[in-house]
A and B are shown apart, each in its own frame.
Chain A
Amino acid sequence: MKYENPLLPEGINTSKSHPLKTFFTLIMGLLVVLIVSAWLLGIGGGYLASKIPYSQEKRLADNYAEAAAPKTELLDYLQTLADKVSSAMQLPSEMKITVHYVADDVENAFATIGGNIFLYKGLLEKLPNENALAMLIGHEIGHVRHRDPIISIGQSAAISTGMMLLLGSTDTGILGSAGLLTQMQFSREMEIRSDETGLTAIESLYGHVNGALDLYSVLEAISESSPFEPPQFFSTHPVSETRIKELVELIDAKKWRQSMPITPLPDKFSVWLSEG
């Protein structure tokens, strides 16, 4: 009876590759897959959302209608200015702009679905003239005109749904959370396009662009005074210089007049602001 077990060499049943190396290769691969699919989902979702009829978009934004604030002189003034800018922009008639004023010290302004524009006290009280205010409103109306808010929602809805399916987490709300509607992120291209649309409207409204760029000086000053919390108006991209440069180039190319008298804000504007 002659039997024996040879001593087998080590490692014949296991991989030689270091587990950490495998780990990083796989993690990097997963990240690439996630980033590429998020990018594709964003493009697809944004494209589909841009096809949503404006009447449907308005239905989604119904909850803003209830929050209509009592008519004040300030709101009246802001709404009239927004209507003037809208008609200067030749905004399609179904895109009705509704201005909301928020008596909060946050230096912010944003546009959301259904033509709703929110202006914050913190930013308004820093504006030096009506032209800068009109530029701010014009920029936000530009977003509405380009359907940026619904596109942004479509993008984040597609991305969160896709990630939910891919990663199997179920705690992500798809749509309808207030945070999604108010804190939407616009891309740099969207901001620049809205800047240009807004400025074009300001030029046809006032016949010149003097004072409009004061808005950007105010925003620059705000971001310099709080470098860690730049105004949300600029937050999608810290390169605000690029945006100003684009506008200056546009003014030069179109030979728009820049040395006309600036329209001041109404005398009681600061009183209205403090009244809330």
Chain B
Amino acid sequence: MSLQILLFLLLLVLGYFIGSYLERKHYRSIIKREAALNVLPAVASKILPAGSESYEQTLVLGNVTISVDYFKRFLATLHNFFGGSVSSYETLLDRARREALLRMKQEAQRLNADLVLNVKYETASIYKGSGSGVGSVEVLAYGTAMIPKRSAT
């Protein structure tokens, strides 16, 4: 029994320190890449802008799966007991959305796109129903990349 408690506390402490280290590192990388990719706008508009005849359109995808650490999961369990916003999952989902969008934009940039239209997100939770197992979240960002036609230029 005491061994179980000890293991639990160890996982909690490890989860907290490793989890927050990885999170800080991830945020630094996200902020850096977002600034670099800001030249390529990604918008939710579905309407083709004027002059789109000179563009080719193709689907671009960005997909990421991020796992929740033990500490965050335990905190979420506590939140489940008391109610209120599950703040421990907020950073997790924020990172996942931004990372997915960044990967989509990277793909669009590789294709020399000027713009990504009709951007949408899909979210899925992995390990659903695994009981006490640590869960992960998957975010897929996709949109229509507008790539200038070579012949037109």
Instruction: Determine the chain A residues whose CB is within 8 A of the CB of B27 once the complex forms.
Output: 10
The number of A-B residue pairs with CB atoms under 8 Å apart is 58
Task: Let me know if B72 is at the binding interface, CB within 8 A.
Answer: yes
Known A-B contacts A14-B94, A26-B78, A26-B79; the reply to A19 vs B72 at CB < 8 A is yes
Q: B61-100 toward A: CB 8 Å interface, digit per residue (1/0)?
A: 0000000000110110011011001011011011000000
Inter-subunit contact B49/A1 (CB<8 Å): yes
Most buried by B among A3, A4, A10: A3
Chain B: interface secondary structure?
A: helix
Task: Let me know if A225 is at the binding interface, CB within 8 A.
Answer: no
Within 8 A of B (CB), among A1-20: 1, 3-5, 7, 10, 13-15, 17, 19-20
Q: Smallest CB-CB separation from B92: which chain A residue? A: A14
Task: Let me know if A27 is at the binding interface, CB within 8 A.
Answer: yes
Q: Smallest CB-CB separation from B116: which chain A residue? A: A3
Within 8 A of A (CB), among B87-119: 87-88, 90-91, 93-94, 114-115
Instruction: Determine the chain B residues whose CB is within 8 A of the CB of A17 once the complex forms.
Output: 87
Known A-B contacts A7-B35, A13-B90; the reply to A19 vs B71 at CB < 8 A is yes
- The 8 Å CB contact of B34, one of A7, A19, A23, A27, is A7
Task: Let me know if A30 is at the binding interface, CB within 8 A.
Answer: yes
Task: Let me know if B50 is at the binding interface, CB within 8 A.
Answer: yes
Inter-subunit contact B50/A22 (CB<8 Å): no
Q: How many residues of A contact B (CB 8 A)?
A: 18
Inter-subunit contact B50/A1 (CB<8 Å): yes
Instruction: Determine the chain A residues whose CB is within 8 A of the CB of B88 once the complex forms.
Output: 19, 22
Inter-subunit contact B91/A14 (CB<8 Å): yes
Known A-B contacts A13-B90, A17-B87; the reply to A3 vs B41 at CB < 8 A is yes
Inter-subunit contact A15/B87 (CB<8 Å): yes
Interface extent on B, as a size class?
A: 20 to 34
Instruction: Determine the chain B residues whose CB is within 8 A of the CB of A30 once the complex forms.
Output: 78, 81-82
Instruction: Determine the chain A residues whose CB is within 8 A of the CB of B35 once the complex forms.
Output: 7
Task: Let me know if A29 is at the binding interface, CB within 8 A.
Answer: yes
Inter-subunit contact A5/B42 (CB<8 Å): yes
Inter-subunit contact A4/B41 (CB<8 Å): yes
What are 10 A-B contacts with C-beta separation under 8 Å? Answer: A3-B41, A3-B43, A3-B45, A13-B93, A14-B87, A19-B87, A19-B88, A23-B74, A26-B78, A30-B81
Chain B interface (Cβ < 8 Å from any Cβ of A) = 16, 20, 27, 31, 34-35, 38, 41-43, 45, 49-52, 71-72, 74-75, 78-79, 81-82, 85, 87-88, 90-91, 93-94, 114-115
Q: Smallest CB-CB separation from B114: which chain A residue? A: A1
Q: Within the complex, what minimum Cβ distance (angstroms) separates B114 from chain A? A: 7
Instruction: Determine the chain A residues whose CB is within 8 A of the CB of B52 once the complex forms.
Output: 1
Inter-subunit contact A26/B85 (CB<8 Å): no
Inter-subunit contact B75/A22 (CB<8 Å): yes
Q: In the complex, A19→B51 CA distance in Å?
A: 49
Q: In the complex, A181→B79 CA distance in Å?
A: 37
The 5 A-B pairs with the shortest beta carbon distances in the complex, nearest first, are: A15-B87, A26-B78, A3-B41, A1-B49, A14-B90
Inter-subunit contact B31/A10 (CB<8 Å): yes
Q: Smallest CB-CB separation from A1: which chain B residue? A: B49
Q: In the complex, A4→B41 CA distance in Å?
A: 5
Instruction: Determine the chain B residues whose CB is within 8 A of the CB of A3 once the complex forms.
Output: 41, 43, 45, 49, 115
Instruction: Determine the chain B residues whose CB is within 8 A of the CB of A5 once the complex forms.
Output: 38, 41-43
Instruction: Determine the chain A residues whose CB is within 8 A of the CB of B34 once the complex forms.
Output: 7
Q: Smallest CB-CB separation from B97: which chain A residue? A: A13
Inter-subunit contact A23/B42 (CB<8 Å): no
Inter-subunit contact B75/A26 (CB<8 Å): yes
